[in-house]
Structure 1
Amino acid sequence: MKKGFLATLMISAGIIACQPAPQAAKEEHKNTFSKATTQKTSKKSSKEKEFLKALGAQDKWQKACSNPVQVAPEGVDVTKFIEEMKATIKYPADGKLVGDWKKGESLALLPKEYKALYGRKGGSKKGNCYACHCGDPRIIACGNIGPSLRGYGKKGIDPKMTYDRIYNPWAQVPCSTMFRFGYHGLLSPEEIADIVAYLHDPESPINK
């Protein structure tokens, strides 16, 4: 009887001895949580530094437009503002402001949008026009932040005005929320000319 009891006691003691001490487990959990928190804080801090760096690198016009509640840049001569923005616009070397509408379509559509329409690879993430606008009536999932582009080429708008508006919208509407594609170098002058063609060409789906 005593031998059986002692054997049971020894086995129980061995099992307990093999288990990690509660305090050690707590410390391990604490260290793991602390490490994860530190990494998360580090990533957040890095993003904040990048944001502050970008904020500090703003040109005077961007700073003037950074107040979200104003319509026009505060304390800035709007006429001078527009003149300086117009001066930033660069045109294609061949002087053609209306390029190839099919190339423009490929720039305007995301790859998934292009494949949905044509069943093959194409499209680009550079323009992403349908995030803010509607245009091609075949594309139902489109944005309404900007005006509709359907039938754009039938409205009698000067292609140069369209080109300038895409290159640097601030040359026409100070502090516009539209991205300044040419000003920031996301689209080349030739690519912008192709998007102008996509908007103006009678054969473009935009104008069907």
Structure 2
Amino acid sequence: MTEIMVVDDDQDLRESMAEVLEGAGFSVTLAWRGEEALEHLARKNFDLILLDLVMPCLGGLELLGRIRDKAPRLPVIMITAFASVENAVAAMRQGASDYVTKPFRIDALLASVGRVLEEARFESCRTSLDLDSVLSSLSNPFRRKILAQLEQAGALRFMDLCRRLELKDHTKMNFHLKILKEAGFLEQNEDKLYLLTTQGTQALDCVRFLMKKLGD
């Protein structure tokens, strides 16, 4: 489950955001001050942080810098009042991914969270995988369908894949599976079941992100 931390000294806003995010299927951790947020960050891995720009003691910009030191690739969305939008833009120059204004709109919050998480997944793909290899291996739509079937089912035998994809040419299926195995996107266990690798999941996410962007 995607882990999000909300850092804001306003209890009502913290709890409102948590309710919205949990309702959307995210796991949420709350912190009311910067020091508490850093303690959570030291103990737990997060996929995204929502951070208030103006807080007592350790302010939002300073905390953003501390987060960048500890987790350079962790995306951060700044929370700001309308009057402080310029400061939020300055925070983005220092590494924040986006900002939302308060009082927040539910649709705007979820749109920002979804967009930033999607971009973070693509960045993870770009930095951890050979993007040229990903695009070369998955440019064929049939190979993408193979990975999607394995993602959905968890593990499948050769004949199960052929039936699901309605392919009677076993030579062609073997050819595509060989390319995907050589790319490191799938593997076979001791029972000869085909499974997605971690790289395969990342590659599929990466290609989906690119296709969505090209379609926008």
**TM-score, length of structure 2 as denominator length:** 0.20
Question: Comparing both chains, which one has the higher relative contact order based on Cα–Cα distances under 8 Å and sequence gaps of 6 or more?
Answer: 1
Higher strand share: 2
Larger radius of gyration: 1
**TM-score, length of structure 1 as denominator length:** 0.21
